[in-house]
Amino acid sequence: MTNVLNENDGDLWQWTMSIVLGCATLIVQLLVDFGERLEAVQESQKRRIRDMKDSLSSHHTEMRAAVDESFAKINAATELYSKVDGSVLRSDEVTRLVLGYTKVGEQGADIVKAFAEEELGRLALLMENLGNGTADCPGENHEWLIDLTKCVKRTLYATSTSVDRDFWSSEPARRYLAAQESAIKSRRVQIRRVFLVDEESEVTASLRQLCERHRKFGIDARIAVRSLLEPTAQMNSLNDFIVFDGELCYETEPDIRVMPAKTTLKMTREHVEERINRFNVLWEATPPDRDRDPEPQQGSTSAATSG
């Protein structure tokens, strides 16, 4: 037995060394793999941390931008309403407009929303143009005419040519005359109107009846024949204008068919004063109707004044 064991000592030693070396190699390989995996995990964690930092930084930037934008909108809205409150405009009507538009946006159908946007854009453009001293629109804007008459406080001086003769038999004319009557009775507004014709043959019975109808509303109306006026008093018979309170001029321009093609509101001082002077010259050159007894008006003056 001893001899047998002695004979196998070399082999046993070789087996032992093989096992030891194999285990050592396996352990080394496991350690290498573990190190590589650990390094990969660490690198992944680093990337994740970097991504998280970048994400947080980006989110922080976006949040800060959103907060700044919100505060800017709040400041703009505050400044806007401060200007509205500080102006002569009624802030409650501006608020009513905003709330109404918001309600349409929340509940209205597509066609209603589109119409509301169109009307709001038109109103915004009108406000901008009024702020710049002039505004216009195609055709004859009867609503402007009637609304201005409801707002006038002191004087309304107007010319009326053949361009708008048919207007006086229309429904807007009825409302226009009613607004003038109300202005005369409730605010003691002085209203003068000159009906312009080119020749004396155009002074018809219907024109005299129209003139008399205006007088029954309290309007001081006269008929001017251009051919009988002094050259300094003659004016373009196709150019109608109305001066409200000596501050705003409403004008209509005819097209080639002698129909109102454009309505213009002008508030520039030079233009309004020129129209006032033109009306004064025309009024003073036109005698009162001989067919009626003149009726004196309280507080009336011989000439229009600006402002």
* pLDDT the model gives residue 261: 79
Query: Does residue 119 surpass a pLDDT of 70?
Result: yes
In a domain, 82, yes or no: no
Q: Are residues 161 and 267 in the same domain?
A: yes
| Average confidence score pLDDT of the chain | 80
Last residue of a domain, one of 76, 111, 132: 132
301 domain residue, yes or no: no
Mark whether 163 and 238 lie in a shared domain. Answer: yes
The confidence score (pLDDT) of residue 53 equals 77
195 domain-assigned: yes
pLDDT tens digits, 146-205: 999 999 999 999 999 887 788 899 999 999 999 999 999 999 999 999 999 888 899 999
Q: How confident is the model at residue 4 (pLDDT cuts 50, 70, 90)?
A: very low
Q: Please count the structural domains in the chain.
A: 2
Same domain, 204 and 255: yes
Residues 122 and 161 reside in one and the same domain = no
> Could you list the residue range(s) of the whole structural domain that residue 263 is in?
135-285
**What digits encode the pLDDT tens for the residues 66-93?**
766 765 666 655 665 565 555 556 667 7
Question: What is the amino acid identity at position 87?
Answer: S
186 and 205 housed in the same domain: yes
Shared domain check, 255 and 145: yes
Q: What is the pLDDT of residue 234?
A: 67
| CATH number of the domain enclosing 165 | 3.30.870.10
Q: Find where tokens 């702020």 sit.
A: 131
Residues 151 and 262 placed together within one structural domain of the fold: yes
Mean pLDDT, residues 118-137 taken together: 91
Question: Radius of gyration of the chain from Cα atoms?
Answer: 44
Highest mean pLDDT among 31-45, 93-107, 262-276: 262-276
At a CB cut-off of 8 Å and minimum separation 6, what does 145 contact? Answer: 172, 176, 242, 250
Q: Per the domain annotation, does 222 fall within a domain? A: yes
pLDDT at 304 (0 to 100): 39
In a domain, 153, yes or no: yes
pTM over 0.75: no
Residue that terminates a domain, selected from 132, 159, 180? 132
Decide which of 141 and 231 is more confident. Answer: 141
